[in-house]
Amino acid sequence: MSTLEIKDLRATVATDEGAKEILKGVNLTVKSGEMHAIMGPNGSGKSTLSYAIAGHPKYEVTGGEVLLDGENVLEMSVDERARAGVFLAMQYPVEVPGVSMSNFLRTAATAVRGDAPKLRHWVKEVKDEMAKLEISGEFADRSVNEGFSGGEKKRHEILQLALLKPKFAVLDETDSGLDVDALRVVSQAVNEVTQSTDMGVMLITHYTRILKHIQPDVVHVFAGGKIVESGGKELADELEENGYVKYIGKPEPARI
Amino acid sequence: MTVAENNVAAAVEAAGPVVPAASRGERFTGYDVEAFEVPGGREENWRFTPLKRLRGLHNGTAVADGTVTVDVDAASDVKVDVVGRTDDRLGVAGAPSDRVAAQAYSSFTEATIVTVPSETKPDKATLVRVTGPGEGKTAYGHLQLRVEAFSNASIVLDHVGSGTYADNVEFVVGEGAKLTVVSVQDWADDAVHVSEQHLSLGKDATLKHTVVTLGGDLVRVSPTARFAEAGGDVEMLGLYFADAGQHQEHRLFVDHAVPHCRSNVMYKGALQGDKAHSVWIGDVLIRAAAEATETYELNRNLVLTEGARADSVPNLEIETGEIEGAGHASATGRFDDEQLFYLQSRGIAEDQARRLVVRGFFHEILMKIDVPEVRERLEAAIEAELEAVESTVNTPETVTA
């Protein structure tokens, strides 16, 4: 059993007008096996939260802690965080020309697991996970994310999740850019890997549509740089019905 | 990353009031060194080159007091001749276009001619190794690689050792012939090498010309491609890796003077360390007669550390509208933090992530080098360069002209 504790997390981003505070004291505790949906309107700071946890250089953490079983991950380098068991499925995965997906996946798995996976088992493992996500085999030879459609990129983020099996995963708008079939396939893969590994998940989303496929244990509303309300599944139903008007003072639907 | 992309045409600049924009095609060429003025450093042709480091190659003070050793490991069918200055095959691929090349042409005493006879396909690559005259010594040389009509051959030209060396290399590709050639400049740290490479393509000839520059204090390679008749196809590839203090200059000129020819240029370089300097000039001229020309040129530079500088100047002159296509692209960028973040976020340590990105940067070019022995060696050489990549990278100076 592991615990990820976010305590009074504050972060700024550099702008032309100086540092701007985006995260204004985020508090959240996620335990192994828990699925937390974090729902919020555009510009509320959801993505900043995910980047701050992963250690993106663009964001400066100005206060608070993120503790993984008591260890402050904010004091770790980006790769150390990943090796400690924190994974971020990005909203906009980055293209890395000239580096094949298969080379990348194996290098990452070697880094996270501490040993190079045995080649024969590895090939089968990758193939099986790709099949579950309905990713064609040719992608293994293509450069990382280069020329992939939005949906293809998202499938590959979840492929990495399934292969790296972190203790905690932040899924940043994994549903955006996925059509109805792709959303079902990707959601199934997320359910399978989270249930088989007892992973704790922060599922960041603007819309309720992914919650038809992935059942959250807790739903949080994120607005103005912090969590403003938490509840059960019924909170998502309420958002589906009324949108974010109550939190931001103007109508913004949570349903497509 | 700063990217300057132009998908055509407007490179023929109107003559300005101060500096009339002379066409690249009008640059003087000749075999006699005295016909060239001693460069002062402001000439278009010399403005990026640190003349002081040329050790007198440019002003007549570099007297030949050594010789290079040329060893040829020839495939069967391939002939090797060592000839004197008067052999009438010499000089057919083109005349020197700068004073150092003319100095080399005026000064060499013997030349090596490697001939692939017509209608042959040697079973392996021919290796030509040029070993420098030694530290503190100067030499001039001349080399001609001839592939006669309808042959198909691979040649590796390898430059190693120490000293100061200027030469002309002729690549004469006959009608319907195909030559794949890789010129590797893997000199010792002290070496200065100035080389004009004359690429001459016959009717329907195909030439893949790859330049790889790794070692040496100052290396300046100027490949010029000319088409004798229609149907020629030249691919000019380059890969360079400049370390602290190294000056690596590649000046290309593709002269499209006849119809239905193609040229494709792709040079990629990485730079690291204080005062590492690379210069890439890509001149492409499509003359009025060169209808149905298809050309593209690209230069990319990856600046890995502070204090390194890459200059990149593409220049496309078009004198006819009747072409298939013409374009150029040039970009010089520093290390991409987003790529690094992405790889690290998957647990890959920073130094390894950097290597992956640099390897990826060169991958496209390495895949095009279809001489297996060379590709493996280059992959190893790039790995060796990467061992030296500093782990902290600050904001480097980047220049894209």
ipTM of this predicted structure: 0.97
pLDDT in tens, B103-159: 999 999 999 999 999 999 999 999 999 999 999 999 999 999 999 999 999 999 999
Q: Which whole number is the average pLDDT over B51-57?
A: 98
Mutation pick from B346, B350, B363, B395 vs chain A, by most beta carbons of A within 10 Å, is B346
**In angstroms, rounded to a whole number, what is the distance separating the alpha carbons of residues B178 and B77?**
15
Q: Give pLDDT tens digits along chain A (256 positions).
A: 999 999 999 999 999 999 999 999 999 999 999 999 999 999 999 999 999 999 999 999 999 999 999 999 999 999 999 999 999 999 999 999 999 999 999 999 999 999 999 999 999 999 999 999 999 999 999 999 999 999 999 999 999 999 999 999 999 999 998 999 999 999 999 999 999 999 999 999 999 999 999 999 999 999 999 999 999 999 999 999 999 999 999 999 998 8
Q: How confident is residue B316, by pLDDT bands cut at 50, 70 and 90?
A: very high
Q: Which residues of A touch B333 (CB under 8 A)?
A: none
User: CB neighbours of B309 closer than 8 A, spacing ≥ 6?
Assistant: B271, B275, B276, B277, B278, B303, B396, B397, B398, B399
Cα separation, A254 vs A251, whole angstroms: 10
pLDDT at B185: 97
pLDDT band at B16 (very low <50, low <70, confident <90, very high): very low
Question: What band does B13 get if pLDDT is binned at 50, 70 and 90?
Answer: very low
Per the prediction, chain B carries an average pLDDT of 90
Report the relative pairing of strands B138-147 and B152-160 from DSSP bridges.
unpaired
Q: What is the pLDDT of residue B394?
A: 39
Provide the pLDDT for residue A211: 96
| Partners of residue A10 on adjacent β-strands | A24, A63
Residue B399: predicted pLDDT: 46
B330 pLDDT exceeds 60?
yes
CB pairs under 8 A between A and B: 83
CA-based nearest residue to B252, from B232, B222, B279: B222
First to last CA, chain B: 14
Host H or E run for residue B341: helix B337-344
What tens digit of pLDDT does each residue of B241-260 get? Answer: 999 999 999 999 999 999 99
Q: How far apart are CA A146 and CA A203, in angstroms?
A: 25
Confidence (pLDDT) at A246: 93
Nearest to B341 among A56, A103, A108 (CB): A56
pLDDT at residue B188 greater than cutoff 50? yes
Distance of CA B316 to the CA centre of its chain: 18
What per-residue confidence (pLDDT) applies to B389?
A: 61
Q: What is the pLDDT of residue B21?
A: 52
Interface residue B395 vs chain A (CB under 8 A): no
Pairing between β-strand B309-318 and β-strand B277-286 as defined by DSSP bridges? parallel
Task: Name every chain B residue with its beta carbon within 8 A of the beta carbon of A141.
Answer: none
Which residues lie across from B255 on neighbouring strands? B226, B285
Cα B293 off chain centre by: 22
Poorest-confidence range of A138-152, B6-20, B72-86, B303-317?
B6-20
Q: Are strands A59-68 and A71-72 parallel, antiparallel or unpaired?
A: antiparallel
d(CA B226, CA A153): 45
User: What distance in Å separates the CA atoms of residue B210 and residue A41, rounded to the nearest whole number?
Assistant: 54
Query: What value does the mean pLDDT take over residues B17-34?
Result: 77
Cβ atoms of B122 and B76 within 8 Å: the answer is: yes
For B367, nearest residue in chain A (alpha carbons)? A98
What was the pLDDT predicted at B20?
Answer: 42
Q: Which of A73, A78, A88, A91 to mutate to test the interface with B (most CBs of B within 10 A)?
A: A78
Residue type, B299: N
**Cβ contact B246:B216 at 8 Å:** yes
- CA-CA distance, B191 to B327, in Å (whole number)? 35
Six-digit token string for B348:
């890959």
| The Cα angle at residue A198 between residues A195 and A204, in degrees rounded to 5 | 80
CA distance B301 to B398: 9
CA distance A23 to chain B (A): 20
Strand-pair partners of B270:
B241, B302
Q: What percent of chain B has pLDDT over 70?
A: 91
Q: What is the distance in angstroms between the Cα of A82 and the nearest Cα belonging to chain B?
A: 5
Specify the pLDDT at position B12.
Answer: 28
Name the residue of chain B whose CA is nearest to A56's CA.
Answer: B341
Identity of residue B114: V
Strands (E), B108-151: 111-116, 126-131, 138-147
